[in-house]
Structure 1
Amino acid sequence: MALLFRSFFATAVTGQFMMNSKGLPTNGVQGFMKHLLMAADHVKPTHIIVCWDMGSQTFRNEVFNDYKSNRNAPPVELIPQFDLAKEVAEGFNLSNVGVVGYEADDCIGTLAKLHRSERKVSVLSGDQDLLQLLDDNIDIMLLKKGFGNYQTYTKDLFVEERGITPEQFIDVKALMGDTSDGYPGVKGIGEKTAMKLIQQYQDISGILANLHELTPSQRKKIEEDLDMLHVSRKLAEIHCEVPLSVSVDEARWEHVSHDTLTLVDELELKVLRRFLVGSNVLSASS
């Protein structure tokens, strides 16, 4: 979803919705597939799974009613591309995964933790929240501006750069909140202070056990927002026990078949077709 939204808004800002002859906008789908296929060519994976949000309501809305309520409804030109993106991914023999009541991030976390003991896992997204999933056999590829530009984090690099563990990143998020997801954390505590507190006291429990050591201002803010702090902690953590039934064999990646061009032509995905014809992704296939 992060890649689809990113691709849509990158071209929608100039009105380039790339309508096909049926009046269906395709800009988000074409950019999404280009991002995915370029990452596949970069990583050379044995398997690929694409995870999707399945509606706006998840278990987090039961924890906090206003979760993501600050977000605007998606543009009308994007709405039909949700199903189209899944159709195109399936046409490229990619496995689509999504579970009602959970976010795509939860599915990603569940699959990453499930398979890390058997194989190297690389997660592609533009969402830094996924950094909490970093582990000995899980890397996170954060998509930077443009196509094919990644900032790849390993667990060791994250610890070295930020001075906290991936798991502690959840507590940092709980303290500082997330304006994008609509939960406040502790009002008045930003990222810098949150990082400092977690580095010093390890986790939220450590902070609460040592409130007397904090500045009067910090102590007051946390005490006044204690309930929201605990709620924000639940919202910030990716749920890694989603009930999934995914066949690894069905997720095997064998490059792009030339037959896929038929689907691309039927849907008039001209930008994607030009990319495929001129890329290693297609020429590497039989």
Structure 2
Amino acid sequence: MTEHQQARGERLLLVDGMALLFRAFFANNYGGSVRRTSTGIPVNAVYGFVRYFMDAVQKFEPTHVICCWDMGSTTFRTAQFDGYKANRPDAPEDLIPQFDLVKEVVASFDVPNIGMVGYEADDCIGTLARRFSQQAEVFVLSGDQDLLQLVDEQVTVVIMKKGFGNYAVYTPAALLEERQLTPAQVICVKGLMGDTSDNYPGVRGIGEKTAHKLVQEYGSVDGILANLDSLSKSVKVKIEADLAMLHLSRELATIKCDVPLEVDYSLSVWSVNRAQVLNKFEELEFRSLTALIS
């Protein structure tokens, strides 16, 4: 970052849209009762999304904001491994109409909605974080720990924690202090232990504790493979039996940072047209949220 750019203090907030929307849906689904408009349209997830979104904007004070979205379940990862995310249940019926609604709300803030078919939101976030970190301090907002691999001196990952307005903020130093891992080692741990939520196995029989210990001791998956004879017999046998899946799992865990996105950074300036946003809130009967829009 140049001195001129530092003086401008530009800060880009990259929002993981689906992470916020799903979290909001389940947090605002009290005893199965879903908030609806007077015409019966479910809006509980969108309502919660706005609360989370505005809290983060107020806390991290971005000058620029972009929201990234998944664009369907078929991606280059499902082509690599047909079991990838195959265990995911269908979206709840009341959430489905809110996928388009939430993007309309984001657009009312003049925030770009970004996604690309064949890639996940994580890949779009990784690409934009890498691309724009030369001109701005980048903050990534999500609930997805996979994004910790993006942390560097210019990219801070903010993980939403239980409760409203609670965040774990990860810089390289914070990640190292809390987990004794570098961002690159986050990928190696996932490659070894797999990911039950994304439905890839890693090395069968190796859990998080062992994966963490191995990566700390040998530095990386490559370091472990170069020292197989130093491992205990049981761990060595497990890795050798699942070598191909270890390599595939590491690849599946790696966020792509070169998605061919066309994004005009200047269109992401955070500048709220209050009347435009309030008009959308009125349509969705979000009167209690109008105080959030200054």
**After TM superposition, is the score higher than 0.5?**
yes
- The answer for the alignment partner of 2:34 in structure 1 is 17
- The answer for the alignment partner of 1:92 in structure 2 is 109
Q: Number of residues paired by the alignment?
A: 277
Equivalent residue letter for 1:161? E
SS at match of 2:41: coil
2:251 aligned with 1:228, yes or no? Answer: no
Equivalent residue letter for 1:72? P
SS at match of 2:240: helix
- The answer for the alignment partner of 1:158 in structure 2 is 175
Q: State the shift of 1:111 in Å.
A: 0.3
Structural mapping, 1:146-185, within 5 Å: 146-185=163-202
Equivalent residue letter for 1:185? G
- Answer yes or no: is the 8 Å Cα contact 1:16–1:27 preserved in 2: no
2:294 aligned with 1:275, yes or no? Answer: no
In 2, distance between residues paired with 1:22 and 1:203? Answer: 55
Deviations 1:81-119 (A, max 9, x none): 111111111012111000000000000000001111211
Deviations 1:99-151 (A, max 9, x none): 00000000000000111121100011111110000000100111111221111
Equivalent residue letter for 2:253? A
Equivalent residue letter for 1:275? L
* Selected match of 2:69 from 52, 57, 62: 52
- The answer for the alignment partner of 1:114 in structure 2 is 131
Provide the alpha-carbon RMSD of the alignment: 1.1
In 2, distance between residues paired with 1:256 and 1:146? Answer: 29
- Answer yes or no: is the 8 Å Cα contact 1:168–1:198 preserved in 2: yes
- The answer for the alignment partner of 2:11 in structure 1 is none
- Answer yes or no: is the 8 Å Cα contact 2:215–2:221 preserved in 1: yes
SS at match of 1:14: helix
SS at match of 1:101: coil
In 1, distance between residues paired with 2:221 and 2:235? Answer: 13
Scaled by the length of structure 1, the TM-score of the pair is: 0.94
In 2, distance between residues paired with 1:18 and 1:92? Answer: 22
- Answer yes or no: is the 8 Å Cα contact 1:120–1:138 preserved in 2: yes
> Structure 1: where are the runs of 5+ without partners?
none
Scaled by the length of structure 2, the TM-score of the pair is: 0.92
* More moved, 46-55 vs 192-201: 192-201
- Answer yes or no: is the 8 Å Cα contact 1:7–1:31 preserved in 2: yes
- Answer yes or no: is the 8 Å Cα contact 1:68–1:181 preserved in 2: yes
* Selected match of 1:68 from 64, 85, 96: 85
- Answer yes or no: is the 8 Å Cα contact 1:4–1:28 preserved in 2: yes
In 2, distance between residues paired with 1:241 and 1:14? Answer: 42
Structural mapping, 1:127-146, within 5 Å: 127-146=144-163
**Percent identity of the aligned residues?**
54
2:256 aligned with 1:242, yes or no? Answer: no
